[in-house]
Amino acid sequence: MNSSAYKRNLSPDSDLQFVKGVGPALASLFGRNGYRTVGDFIKNYPRAFEDQRAARLIATLQDGDIVSLKAFVVSVSNYNMGKSSRKVYDIMVRDSSGQIRCKFFRVPYKGYFERFKAGTEIRVVGKVTNYRGRLEFHHPDMRDIDPNEEIKDALIPIYIEHEGIGSGKIQKFIQNCFLQLKEWSPEKFPESLLQKHNLITNEQALHEIHHPNMSEASLYNENRSSAHRRIIFEEFFWLELYLASKKSNLKKEKGIVVKNQSKLSSDLVKSLPFELTGAQVTAYQEIKQDLGSGRPMNRLVQGDVGSGKTLVSFLATLSSFESGFQSCLMAPTEILAEQHFRNAEKQLGPLGVKIGLLTGKSKTKERKELMEKLSSGEIHFLIGTHALIEDWVQFKNLALVIIDEQHRFGVAQRSILKSKGYCPHFLIMTATPIPRTLAMTVYGDLDVSIINEMPKGRSPIQTRVIQESKRNAAVQFMAEQIAKGRQAYVVYPLVEESEKIDLKNATDEFEKLKTQFPNIRFGLLHGKMKALEKDEIMQLFRKHDLDVLVSTTVIEVGVDVANANMMIIEHAERFGLSQLHQLRGRVGRGEHKSFCVMIMGYAVSVDTRSRVEFMEKTNDGFKVAEYDLEIRGPGEFMGSKQSGLAGFKMANLVRDFELLKLARDSAFEMLKQDPDLKRKEHSLIREELLKSYGPQALAGVG
């Protein structure tokens, strides 16, 4: 390419439309995908690299190979997957040695498959997969080629297509970006950091990711080249520096000192019919140390379903009570808040703790009396739902805030609760185990305690994944358990944040089961019911006036019935694995052997089936969470686009864990050595932190 034909007149901030060949129309198209400037577009990283030296014949392919090959299109067809309307697109290709299928489970863009006509010669680049004993490509890169094209001794970057703009065109536009750049953004990392971690410069990394260094050819498709390493480290570093600054700010605040008295805590532990696990003791010791430190506690307690997190939070509440302060606990649902209230009355009430319950259904007169007692200090421990953050909820001396199921509440709600006391301590609980890779990013500003032991005597839940055709056998087995005096749940999923479809299914199933088993007492529970109706059904189930609860996902958290030892989950393929694990945790809480049957519908892909079948392999929520994160990615795993997580273009929390640790250590060490980021070598880092995360990023940096 003759570079003299290009004027070097662009900067990284220049509008993309000024790149040769792009123009306003294509710039608008790329802008819809997040690429508006030259600098943005250069960060449109290749998704793979075609090693043209690895060109192969079809007959030589093996499972797992990443290859490039020339082939002729034999046929293009599509068919429905199972009984669903989802289509699988199948392009058969051949060369002189044999033929192979190229399968697509989604359409890349409208008109994609019309491009491929029988007899056309194309290039196929992708990973070979063994599917049911047959080698195939799944979603390979496919493009038309000139029959006379040369095979170069080079790695060719492959880019994600954008609305019909193929990889080849995108590559050309990116090359033009490089040819027209008159200057690069200055290197933000100090030389000492680059040398310490053996990192190349940002300019080198961006150049080499689009112009692969052949000396590292074997590392590019493994995401381990020098260019990959620098880009991944940098993506992690900015997020970790932001979290480090937040944590630094928290440590500067003065907090209420809760004295480490332990008489009532000891009394509670002695009254229990079981011993605390070692993990519970450790978590409580860490909490006690925080409460007496003089700085506000910000601690996340992770524990699997049924591991005893709530008891640990009650011990912390007793510490606050003994020091003369109030505490509160906010739960995401009324069912869970009421369960916490009942447990607190049973365990803390006899020790003198006055407990209040505040939910959306609290009557006006009751609410007024409760608020008077709260503001006077007569109520020591207030438990409730979102109602706790209302302006009219006023404490006398709030010292401890406990939040259950953190992922269901936003930062704003935590901030409102914080304003109700003088820098109160925060204890955040989650029964959704979060892999340590994700905890280091999402909750990097919090200290973390892990309760990874189950109480003695708990037997593991037997889990089975079955097809719809075996459903009757599962229901008969449930009836046998009911005949033995046990109770059960039958759960339907929530689809697209609306219960309309599943409400009908749950209602229909409820009627069918009542007809099929007239001697079994069935109850129906769903989110469309009024609070009083739900309460009435739950009370009947707790008292064993009902044998089976047919429900939607409202029982995911907060339902604790020790006699319930069986759960049937319908359409298990519609749930995330962590949600399946939460539901499964509703059984196995008593002395009886427990069972969970997950039923999958007819139209289920092989990948989905293997995902759900993972639940048969372990009852360990942390293992489930690691696997769930690996297959779904952090944004989906958390159920929302968490700050920073959606910004990773190349970094992978599972694959790149070692680089994540390195970036985290570097970020925290930098703030330790230069708390205000005022040193000359850190000036560009300070500017970038402010640019990326806004003024709040510098809250911890003076």
pLDDT tens digits for 329-356?
A: 998 888 888 889 999 999 999 999 999 9
Of 9 and 93, the structure prediction assigns the larger pLDDT to: 93
Q: For residue range 440-469, what is the model confidence (pLDDT) as tens digits? A: 676 666 788 888 887 776 778 999 999 888
Q: What is the mean pLDDT of residues 102-111?
A: 83
| 154 lies in some domain | no
Q: Residue 250: its pLDDT value, please?
A: 63
Q: Are residues 248 and 267 in the same domain?
A: no
Mean pLDDT of the chain: 85
What stretches of 149-306 adopt beta strand conformation (E)? 155-158, 298-303
For residue 644, is pLDDT > 60? no
Q: How confident is the model at residue 210 (pLDDT cuts 50, 70, 90)?
A: very high
| 496 lies in some domain | yes
For residue 504, is pLDDT > 60? no
Bridge-based pairing state of the strands 121-131 and 66-80: antiparallel
Q: What is the mean pLDDT of residues 227-233?
A: 97
The last residue of one of the domains, among 451, 477, 502, is: 451
Q: How confident is the model at residue 407 (pLDDT cuts 50, 70, 90)?
A: low
Q: Residue 643: its pLDDT value, please?
A: 47
Comparing CA positions, the residue from 564, 410, 400, 543 lying closest to residue 486 is 564
Q: Are residues 35 and 60 in the same domain?
A: no
Of 553 and 214, the structure prediction assigns the larger pLDDT to: 214
Of 150 and 551, the structure prediction assigns the larger pLDDT to: 551
For residue 599, is pLDDT > 70? yes
The last residue of one of the domains, among 429, 451, 473, is: 451
Of 1 and 256, the structure prediction assigns the larger pLDDT to: 256
CA 559 vs CA 337, 539, 609, 663: distances in Å: 10, 11, 28, 41
Spatial separation of the C-alpha atoms in residues 617 and 624, rounded to whole Å: 9
Q: Residue 702: its pLDDT value, please?
A: 42
Helices vs. strands in the chain: H and E counts, helices first: 23, 21
Q: Residue 274: its pLDDT value, please?
A: 82
**CATH number of the domain that 91 lies in?**
2.40.50.140
For residue 641, is pLDDT > 50? no
Q: Are residues 272 and 387 in the same domain?
A: yes
| 472 lies in some domain | yes
Q: What is the mean pLDDT of residues 65-72?
A: 85
Q: Are residues 355 and 322 in the same domain?
A: yes
pLDDT-wise least confident of 224-233, 398-407, 471-480? 398-407
Domain carrying residue 483 = 462-618
For residue 659, is pLDDT > 90? yes
Q: Are residues 327 and 367 in the same domain?
A: yes
Q: For residue range 21-30, what is the model confidence (pLDDT) as tens digits? A: 999 999 999 9
**CATH number of the domain that 567 lies in?**
3.40.50.300
Q: Are residues 435 and 569 in the same domain?
A: no
Q: Are residues 15 and 92 in the same domain?
A: no
Q: What percent of the residues of the chain are helix, what percent strand, and what percent coil, each to the nearest 5? A: 45, 20, 35
How many structural domains does the chain have?
5
| 526 lies in some domain | yes
Reading the block at residue 614, the tokens are 């993972």
Bridge partners of residue 349, in order along the sequence:
none
Q: Residue 541: its pLDDT value, please?
A: 94
DSSP state of 396: S
Spatial separation of the C-alpha atoms in residues 401 and 299, rounded to whole Å: 11
Q: Residue 164: its pLDDT value, please?
A: 73
| 525 lies in some domain | yes
**CATH number of the domain that 168 lies in?**
1.10.150
Spatial separation of the C-alpha atoms in residues 54 and 211, rounded to whole Å: 18
Spatial separation of the C-alpha atoms in residues 568 and 600, rounded to whole Å: 11
What stretches of 371-495 adopt beta strand conformation (E)? 381-384, 398-404, 425-430, 447-451, 462-467, 487-491
| 634 lies in some domain | no
The last residue of one of the domains, among 420, 451, 482, is: 451
Tracing tokens 């506000």 back to the chain, one arrives at 296
pLDDT-wise least confident of 71-75, 382-386, 607-611, 676-680? 607-611
Q: Are residues 30 and 172 in the same domain?
A: yes
Q: Are residues 306 and 426 in the same domain?
A: yes
For residue 650, is pLDDT > 70? yes
| 642 lies in some domain | no
Q: Residue 692: its pLDDT value, please?
A: 76
Q: Are residues 491 and 613 in the same domain?
A: yes
Q: How confident is the model at residue 131 (pLDDT cuts 50, 70, 90)?
A: confident
| 337 lies in some domain | yes
Q: For residue range 601-625, what is the model confidence (pLDDT) as tens digits? A: 876 777 788 889 999 999 888 888 8
For residue 65, is pLDDT > 60? yes
Spatial separation of the C-alpha atoms in residues 488 and 478, rounded to whole Å: 7
Spatial separation of the C-alpha atoms in residues 205 and 235, rounded to whole Å: 13
Q: Are residues 24 and 71 in the same domain?
A: no
Bridge-based pairing state of the strands 447-451 and 487-491: unpaired
Q: What is the mean pLDDT of residues 558-574?
A: 87
Spatial separation of the C-alpha atoms in residues 430 and 208, rounded to whole Å: 42
Spatial separation of the C-alpha atoms in residues 392 and 364, rounded to whole Å: 12
Helix (H) or strand (E) holding 146, with range, is none
For residue 677, is pLDDT > 80? yes
Q: Are residues 275 and 414 in the same domain?
A: yes
Q: For residue range 515-527, what is the model confidence (pLDDT) as tens digits? A: 999 999 999 988 7
- Decide if 434 contacts 459 (C-beta within 8 A): no
Spatial separation of the C-alpha atoms in residues 409 and 415, rounded to whole Å: 11
